[in-house]
């Protein structure tokens, strides 16, 4: 089958492209913006990319068009597909029908930590020899790809693993299917990591998101398992709406706990008050401990012993664009991180602060997500950046005044409409020992390398 993917360079749709190619399909695709790591990954897979959404792409004559949720009515290629009555399907539905059917799906949902927790869970299953398939909204360093089909387990080379780990997003499926993506996945193991208000472009309030999460809960079988953050009142409300599946909580005394955390990142794992072992790794912050507990609990449901999960996490290498060091120049370290929601920004900066102590942190922020562009979260930005010493905000293309929003921290913040001016300002003030933390959920105009190149040219 030949499939043509509209919006192929998003992490989710790019992952579908990789899976479809591995399954033997011919895969082509198009998108408006192409940037690493997804573009690099697709090119390495031999997938043909077309810039833009020209109607002429219908001349490729694919058997099916797979539509990403970045595509809306008015898109010239989509309009041509509709006018000609050509076959199309959403990405999540294509995935459910062609990859997930018959699999033991382990789905990780939540406002924050989906990518990291999915990566941890996939790695634990891999470490345990279960050879899972996965589709993750980032590139786990342990695998170097964001998606793959289930493999043959080491202990049984003649069979294919039944396990598939998926990052389960609450964002809508497509312009013609307004349900959350995750309702298509029908997991046997569901992780509910946390739940805050986000995606203000499609959800009116937190209650609307809770309703979608309950739709996910409704799809988990009685013999499945829901692993839920016990500290989140929003998730408790979701479960209280009706639950037909056993629930294990993490972060509370009931089931899974992390205790005795040290500055090096290590911590003890407890299950129902009983010590299970100690995770030794260099990931910092309570958010990563919570992610670890969720992945351990989910893996246990799939048959992985807790001690095996703990051993696997000692070799976990995190995810690209999650506090990823992009380079060090003249003693100045530049990081890349995907943080784009105030809670994620605060958590990320706090994690770096715990790592670097009193060294200066220069936070570089692009409010790029749809929610941030709408300005719904702008009042929370100053508080989320309190641990940073200096703040540089790229305020172009916003529907609100970033400088005005950052007034409470005006003594340490600067706002720029021009990317080159932002880079020059950072390079002028940065000094040896500083840590430059770049946060955006997009390519940010290649600002990371521009900062490194400019720093390298300093005399």
- Do residue 208 and residue 156 come from a single domain? yes
Diameter over CA atoms, the chain: 65
> Is 123 found in the same domain as 270?
yes
For 417, the token pair is: 């409409």
- In this prediction, residue 258 carries a pLDDT of 94
Same-domain check for residues 341 and 299: no
Tokens of 181: 């993506």
Q: Alpha helix locations (H) across 184-332?
A: 206-217, 233-240, 286-301, 306-313
Residue 295: partners with Cβ closer than 8 Å, 6 or more residues away: 117, 120, 121, 124, 191, 309, 313
pLDDT of residue 458: 55
Query: What pLDDT is attached to residue 459?
Result: 40
106 with 170, same domain: the answer is yes
Structural domain for 452, as ranges: 324-456
Q: Which two tokens stand for residue 150?
A: 């289930």
Domain check: are 185 and 287 in the same one? yes
Q: Is residue 336 part of a domain?
A: yes
Q: CATH number of the domain at 138, please.
A: 3.40.1190.10
Q: Is residue 78 located within the same domain as residue 10?
A: yes
CA nearest 440: which of 410, 413, 419? 419
Q: Within this chain, do residues 195 and 299 fall inside the same structural domain, yes or no? A: yes
Q: How many helices (H) and strands (E) does the chain have?
A: 15, 23
Residue 319 lies in a domain: no
The predicted pLDDT at position 435 comes to 95
Q: Give a yes or no: residue 182 inside a domain.
A: yes
- Omega before residue 383 within 30° of 0, cis: no
Nearest CA among 123, 196, 194, 200 for reference residue 163: 123
Sequence-separated (6 or more) residues with CB below 8 Å from residue 201: 370, 371, 374
- 3-state class (DSSP) for residue 333: strand
- Whether 81 and 126 share a structural domain: no
CA atoms of 43 and 49, how far apart (whole Å): 8
* CB-neighbour burial class of residue 242 (10 A; exposed 0-12, middle 13-18, buried 19+): exposed
Residues 306, 346, single domain; the answer is: no
Which CATH number do you get for residue 346?
A: 3.90.190.20
Domain end residue (candidates: 313, 346, 363): 313
Length reported for the chain: 459
Residues 85 and 119 reside in one and the same domain: no
Same domain, 126 and 228: yes
For 26, the enclosing helix (H) or strand (E) is strand 26-31
Distances (CA, A) of 378 to 269, 345, 374, 389, 399: 37, 12, 9, 19, 11
Nearest to 181 by CA among 249, 135, 131, 133: 135
Domain co-membership, 173 together with 306: yes
> Which of 69, 93, 117 is the endpoint of a domain?
93
Domain boundary among 285, 313, 341: 313
pTM given for the model: 0.79
Between CA 401 and CA 304 the distance in angstroms is 50
127: Cα separation from own chain's centroid: 21
In the numeric block, which tokens belong to residue 3?
């499939």
By C-alpha distance, which of 296, 100, 89 is closest to 187?
100
- Residue 46 included in any domain: yes
Give me the average pLDDT of each 10-residue run along the chain (459 residues).
Answer: 94 92 95 75 86 96 96 97 98 97 96 91 97 91 90 84 95 93 97 80 82 96 97 94 97 92 89 95 87 97 97 86 84 87 84 87 85 73 91 85 88 91 93 93 83 79
Query: What pLDDT, on a 0 to 100 scale, did the predictor assign at position 402?
Result: 86
Give the residue among 185, 171, 172 at the shortest CA–CA distance from 135. 185
CA pair distance 408, 405, nearest whole angstrom: 8
Three-state SS for 74-103 is: CCHHHHHHHHHCCCEEEHHHHHHHHHHCCC
**Residue 318 belongs to some domain of the structure:** no
Q: How many CB atoms lie within 10 A of CB 364?
A: 27
């Amino acid at each position: 089958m030949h499939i043509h993917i509209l919006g192929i360079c998003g992490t989710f749709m790019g992952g579908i492209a990789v899976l479809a190619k591995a399954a033997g399909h011919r895969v082509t695709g198009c998108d408006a913006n192409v940037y690493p790591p997804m573009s690099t990954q697709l090119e390495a897979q031999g997938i043909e990319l077309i810039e833009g959404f020209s109607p002429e792409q219908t001349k490729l004559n694919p058997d099916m068009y797979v539509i990403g949720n970045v595509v809306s009515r008015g898109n010239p290629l989509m309009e041509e597909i509709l006018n000609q009555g050509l076959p199309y399907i959403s990405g999540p539905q294509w995935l459910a029908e062609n990859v997930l059917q018959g699999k033991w799906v382990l789905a990780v949902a939540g406002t924050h930590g989906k990518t990291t927790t999915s990566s941890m869970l996939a790695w634990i299953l891999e470490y345990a020899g279960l050879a899972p398939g996965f589709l993750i909204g980032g590139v786990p360093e342990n695998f170097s790809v964001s998606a793959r089909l289930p493999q043959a387990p080491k202990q049984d080379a003649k069979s294919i693993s039944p396990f598939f780990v998926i990052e389960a997003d609450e964002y809508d499926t497509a312009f013609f299917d307004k349900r959350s993506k995750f309702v298509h996945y029908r997991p046997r193991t569901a992780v509910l990591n946390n739940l805050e208000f986000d995606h203000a472009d499609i959800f009116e309030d937190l209650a609307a998101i809770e309703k979608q999460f309950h739709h996910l809960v409704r799809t988990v079988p009685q013999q499945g398992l829901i692993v839920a953050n016990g500290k989140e009142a929003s998730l408790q409300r979701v479960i209280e709406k009706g639950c037909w599946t056993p629930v294990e909580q993490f972060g509370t005394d009931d089931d899974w706990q992390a205790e005795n955390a040290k500055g090096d990142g290590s911590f003890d794992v407890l299950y129902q008050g009983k010590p299970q072992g100690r995770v030794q790794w260099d990931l910092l912050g309570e958010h990563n401990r919570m992610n670890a507990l969720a992945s351990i609990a989910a893996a246990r449901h799939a048959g992985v012993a807790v001690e095996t999960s703990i051993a696997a996490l000692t070799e976990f290498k995190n995810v690209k664009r999650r506090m990823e060091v992009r380079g060090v120049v003249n003693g100045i370290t530049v990081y890349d991180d995907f943080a784009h929601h105030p809670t994620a920004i605060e958590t990320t900066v706090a994690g770096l602060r715990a790592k670097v102590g009193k060294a200066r942190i220069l936070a570089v922020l692009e409010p790029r997500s749809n929610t941030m562009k709408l300005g719904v979260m702008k009042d929370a930005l100053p508080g989320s950046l309190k641990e940073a010493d200096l703040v540089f905000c790229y305020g172009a293309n916003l529907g609100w005044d970033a400088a005005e929003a950052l007034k409470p921290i005006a003594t340490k913040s600067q706002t720029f409409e021009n990317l080159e001016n932002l880079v020059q300002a950072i390079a002028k003030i940065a000094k040896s020992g500083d840590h430059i933390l770049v946060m955006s959920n997009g390519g940010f105009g290649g600002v990371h390398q521009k900062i490194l190149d400019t720093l390298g040219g300093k005399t």
